[in-house]
Structure 1
């Protein structure tokens, strides 16, 4: 199976900064890695603050000295600044001008190397075992969460236990997408026909925002979901609630999910009175995740009328 490790700490920090400026306020208790709800986001915050402090060592002197130099050596009569036409070299000045940037780059390189290994999205270094396995499928325009060991699935709501590692395997059944829960972990790309991995853990019960950060059409702004971290007893209750109120996830229901609709539109088509107004619950009857991947590795293209998002999509699986 094709796999991709499409993430690094620097890109995670930049993506999070962009989200802080362009994402409108949401009704979530935490939606930023500046308010970390897990050890991974906490390390990302520390990495950003440390890098900012090191860069300020070079930036602040420039901001201060440029206006001072411009003022001191401005054109004027009888100025106090000495005129030294024969001066052309200063060892001390050269040492400062070259030594400080070299030191900053060396320190940044060291911390980046350290953070890159510690924040490897494939690493299972955080949390306790056994991990909760979750398979994630990006669709237009929603995320499908499959819990193969629990026999359930959800859309719009991602339930996880606290103090326990969550091992995620991600793909998409449409264009490339970027999965991110800022308060827990950084973004990672997912592509059709490929799998990638992300590990995360939540420290305390909390409700957080998750979303797609890769623009993919008209429903992009609505491709968000609620991440609910809860203690183990509450998580077990949530699993039972999903199992009791969910509808079967088979070829027919997946056909509806795969249409180019946002969560509100698919909620109207598949939602029931036993489900929340902003989430869909399912029970698993088959290995949906690997069926999706197999379609991209079979070597045969689907006819145009059987592509995801068309009315006849999914009928082949039923046959």
Structure 2
């Protein structure tokens, strides 16, 4: 846990796209609180251990005239046993409680009183396809979302397993062939947020990047109408071309084939994430992203 926290701190300094310590939504904020708590709790163990290591090396050093007591028959100390077993057990219990609480809280929409929007995400080689079943449009390598609205990302893969991650919005979730995984995210500030695939998927892996653009709801729906009026439809033939391993830029489509996402999931075994409830809001399609079938 300490290593993961240290890695988070290191990555946060690599550039704005890795600012997991500067979240812009409730999901990222909850995860940041958990990271901070984890660092504090592990520090309670790590810092005293390191301090004791330095003290013991100095106190019991082999040096003429060393006045450290010599106790060759010493075998145990109940006080020490209670300390080095009791404190870690308490810390693990506290950490486990808050981890469980945060993890299960993030399974639900961030704002229960606001209708969410569903975006179906398919990872391909080496690109990302975003389908909006409620708005009947699609994009490649970028997504636009309204600020302050929970986004129900439903994730799958039509290529090797990958990982969907937008650092400033929240943690990552895997995309796997034959499975649909749910990830709730929300942006409370307008902006462009970097996202990428966190699993190695071959020579084009470095190009598995995308942007999530958050804008006010009125601008979001204006963008939807522009896509509908100025773009070509996404056909199954075009989707077959997208499946071919390649690196492309961004594009958008004015319509999507019925059940394209669900057909992709079921073609590879068809399993929804255990415990998934019917998706609610403006993005549900005919199959409702229901529980495991």
Tell whether the structures are fold-level matches, with TM greater than 0.5.
yes
> How far apart are 1:291 and its partner, in Å?
3.2
What's 2:200 paired with? 215
Instruction: Determine helix, strand or coil for the equivalent of 1:78.
Output: coil
Correspondence 1:282 to 2:253: yes
> How far apart are 1:50 and its partner, in Å?
0.4
What's 2:159 paired with? 174
Match of 1:232 among 217, 223, 247: 217
Give ranges in structure 2 of 5+ residues lacking alignment.
271-293
- 8 Å contact kept, 2:11–2:18: no
Number of aligned positions between the proteins: 268
Instruction: Determine helix, strand or coil for the equivalent of 1:284.
Output: coil
> How far apart are 1:237 and its partner, in Å?
2.0
Matches within 5 A, 1:119-268: 119-120=106-107, 123-126=108-111, 128-264=113-249
Equivalents in 2 of 1:16, 1:234: separation in Å? Answer: 39
Q: For residues 19-70 of structure 1, what are the alpha-carbon distances to aligned partners after superposition, in whole Å with 9 as ceiling and x for unaligned?
A: 9649964xxx554321101111111111011011111111111111112111
Equivalents in 1 of 2:83, 2:24: separation in Å? Answer: 41
Match of 1:76 among 58, 63, 70: 63
What's 2:43 paired with? 56
Correspondence 1:107 to 2:78: no
Equivalents in 1 of 2:75, 2:256: separation in Å? Answer: 79
Instruction: Determine helix, strand or coil for the equivalent of 1:289.
Output: helix
- 8 Å contact kept, 1:211–1:225: yes
> How far apart are 1:293 and its partner, in Å?
3.1
Cα–Cα, structure 1 residues 292 and 230, in superposed 2: closer, same or farther, change >3 Å? same
Give ranges in structure 1 of 5+ residues lacking alignment.
1-9, 265-278, 299-319
> How far apart are 1:124 and its partner, in Å?
2.1
Instruction: Determine helix, strand or coil for the equivalent of 1:47.
Output: helix
- 8 Å contact kept, 1:30–1:207: no
Match of 2:265 among 293, 296, 300: 293
TM-score normalized by the length of structure 2: 0.83
Equivalents in 1 of 2:196, 2:6: separation in Å? Answer: 12
